[in-house]
Amino acid sequence: MPFQLSLLHLSALAILVLSSALFSQGRLAVAPAICASHDLPNPLAELFPNNATGVLNATLAIIPIPLDMARRLIPPQYGILERAYRALLPDFPEAMYPVLVQAAHDHDVQFRAYGITIDDFSRVGFEFPFLDLLGDGYSSFRWAPAQLISATNPIALEGSRAYGTVVSPAEYEPVCDAYSVLASGATYFKGSSLESSEFFEVEMAPVHHPAFNPYPLELFKNITNQPTFANATTCDNMIRLFNTSMTTGGHAPVAVHGRVRANTFPFGKAAREWTGVYGVQVATPFIENNYLDCQTMQGYAGTGGPGDSYTSTKTSDDL
Ligand SMILES: *[C@@H]1O[C@H](CO)[C@@H](O)[C@H](O)[C@H]1NC(C)=O
Ligand SMILES: *[C@@H]1O[C@H](CO)[C@@H](O)[C@H](O)[C@H]1NC(C)=O
Ligand SMILES: *[C@@H]1O[C@H](CO)[C@@H](O)[C@H](O)[C@H]1NC(C)=O
Ligand SMILES: *[C@@H]1O[C@H](CO)[C@@H](O)[C@H](O)[C@H]1NC(C)=O
Ligand SMILES: *[C@@H]1O[C@H](CO)[C@@H](O)[C@H](O)[C@H]1NC(C)=O
């Protein structure tokens, strides 16, 4: 189909143009250090050679904030689809809104047919799901206005900036993984900007009594599959699959709770700490369709079908 072909060429072109621009600046002249990660390899590169694919190993957590605060933080032109998140979370506290914390390690990102692979990188930020970007009253989009991204990966930095994201090059602890494990058994992840005093720190421990965990995995699957935007010029369609061996069996998601400390946009510049934060640690492979016209994502309902539906009954009990 000519239309698909041209889209394919466009996204490949975007990556190629970015890489050649970076090459010409000589920034990639020095071979980047090889990051040995514990993450599993990308299982989709072979299945979708003509698409950008990769693995995201992430801590996803929800910070409930008052709706009126959400209203002040989120640009006024984007309505908040409270009905959509209440459909997934009937017991979510009144007059509150769920902010997503996404602290992730991007691993084994490839555009197989073009022989393109991208170095691993980490990124973290606050994200605002269930937004009515198109003003249609039902299509959920996610606003991800700012990210700390590994300074070692110029392609990721520029790729995110191309969405209008406020990007801060950062260093990470741990360097090559989604989190490290502390002596206490808790996990730790911290990103620190190299250009400002911004930082984002996440410390989590497994939830031992699943009944205390307020959020079903379905919620995270839904939120992470909503098309994402920053300044709304274009949208990112990242399809995250929750039905592969990376997310089931021995690698089933782990419900976690803990604390988040950060001073990044759009919260104020003073560091804030949230405790008693609940979420999940989950690794998913993804297919990413970049720089789409947001309008074409109207009514997007995830991958549908058995696709990313929640299949494992074991994890359903755990979460
Ligand atoms: C792969 O990329 C093509 C071209 O951009 C697109 O039409 C197709 O929907 C993508 N595949 C998936 C599974 O998203
Ligand atoms: C995700 O990262 C953690 C920490 O490095 C690692 O232990 C785990 O095996 C990773 N999960 C997958 C499925 O790659
Ligand atoms: C959004 O950001 C992109 C990339 O920086 C820029 O080209 C575009 O003009 C911006 N659009 C708006 C409406 O600010
Ligand atoms: C998220 O859940 C809402 C409410 O049930 C649903 O309308 C929407 O299609 C889901 N979106 C995704 C991306 O799964
Ligand atoms: C996983 O989800 C994808 C996307 O919807 C689907 O094509 C595939 O058949 C699913 N695999 C399994 C084993 O259910």
Digit-coded pLDDT (tens) for 259-316? 999 999 999 899 999 999 999 999 999 999 999 999 999 989 875 433 322 222 333 3
More confident residue, 10 or 140: 140
Our answer on whether the CB atom of 6 is closer than 6 Å to any ligand 3 atom is no
Distance 291 CA to ligand 3 centre (A): 12
Q: What is the pTM of this model?
A: 0.88
Nearest CA to ligand 2 atom 11: 39
Give the confidence band of 33 by pLDDT, cuts at 50, 70, 90: low
Residue 315 is predicted with a pLDDT of: 35
Q: Which ligand is nearest to the CA of 130?
A: 4
Structural contact between residues 178 and 281, judged by C-beta atoms closer than 8 angstroms: yes
**Residues 234, 239, 242: CA angle, nearest 5 degrees:** 155
Give the confidence band of 34 by pLDDT, cuts at 50, 70, 90: low
Nearest CA to ligand 3 atom 10: 164
Residue 35 is predicted with a pLDDT of: 72
**Spacing of C-alpha 284 from chain mean position:** 10
Dig out the tokens for 118 from the structure. Answer: 């991208």
95-114 as b/e: b if 16+ CB within 10 A: ebbbbbbbbbbbbbbbbbee
Nearest CA to ligand 3 atom 2: 164
Pocket of ligand 2 (CB under 6 A): 38-40, 57, 177-179, 246, 251, 283
Dig out the tokens for 127 from the structure. Answer: 């994200």
Residue 2 is predicted with a pLDDT of: 33
> What is the DSSP code (8-state) at residue 186?
-
Cβ-based neighbours of 262, under 8 Å, separated by 6 or more: 126, 198, 199, 200, 201, 271, 272
Residue 301 is predicted with a pLDDT of: 83
Task: Decide if pLDDT at 319 tops 50.
Answer: no
Q: Is omega for the bond preceding 266 within 30 degrees of 0, making it cis?
A: yes
Pocket of ligand 5 (CB under 6 A): 241, 243, 303, 305-308
Kindly report the average pLDDT of the chain as a whole number.
87
CA dist 283 and 294 (Å) reads 26
Q: Which three-class secondary structure state does DSSP give residue 248?
A: coil
Task: Decide if pLDDT at 102 tops 60.
Answer: yes
Distance 57 CA to ligand 2 centre (A): 6
Axis-axis angle for helices 154-161, 2-24 (nearest 10): 130
Distance 19 CA to ligand 2 centre (A): 28
Distance 7 CA to ligand 1 centre (A): 8
Q: What percent of the chain has a predicted confidence (pLDDT) above 90?
A: 78
Residue 10 is predicted with a pLDDT of: 43
Going along the chain from its start, the domains and CATH numbers come out as 5-30+44-297 (2.40.400)
CA dist 223 and 19 (Å) reads 30
Q: Which of 4-13, 28-37, 126-135, 257-266 bottoms out in mean pLDDT, i.e. has the lowest? A: 4-13
Nearest CA to ligand 5 atom 5: 307
Q: Which residue has the tokens 């755990």?
A: 318
Nearest CA to ligand 1 atom 3: 8
Residue 313 is predicted with a pLDDT of: 31
Pocket of ligand 4 (CB under 6 A): 84, 87-88, 140, 222, 225-226, 301-302
CA dist 61 and 223 (Å) reads 11
Task: Decide if pLDDT at 69 tops 50.
Answer: yes
Give the confidence band of 212 by pLDDT, cuts at 50, 70, 90: confident
Nearest CA to ligand 3 atom 5: 164
Task: Decide if pLDDT at 28 tops 90.
Answer: no
Q: pLDDT digits over 124-161, tens only?
A: 999 999 999 999 999 999 999 999 999 999 999 999 99
Query: What's the chain's Rg over C-alpha atoms?
Result: 19
**Mean local confidence (pLDDT), 3-27:** 42
Distance 282 CA to ligand 4 centre (A): 19
Residue 302 is predicted with a pLDDT of: 76
CA dist 173 and 88 (Å) reads 33
Distance 97 CA to ligand 1 centre (A): 32
Query: Among 205, 211, 297, which Cα is nearest to 254's?
Result: 205
Nearest CA to ligand 1 atom 6: 4
Cβ-based neighbours of 270, under 8 Å, separated by 6 or more: 263
Q: Which of 35-39, 106-110, 155-159 bottoms out in mean pLDDT, i.e. has the lowest? A: 35-39
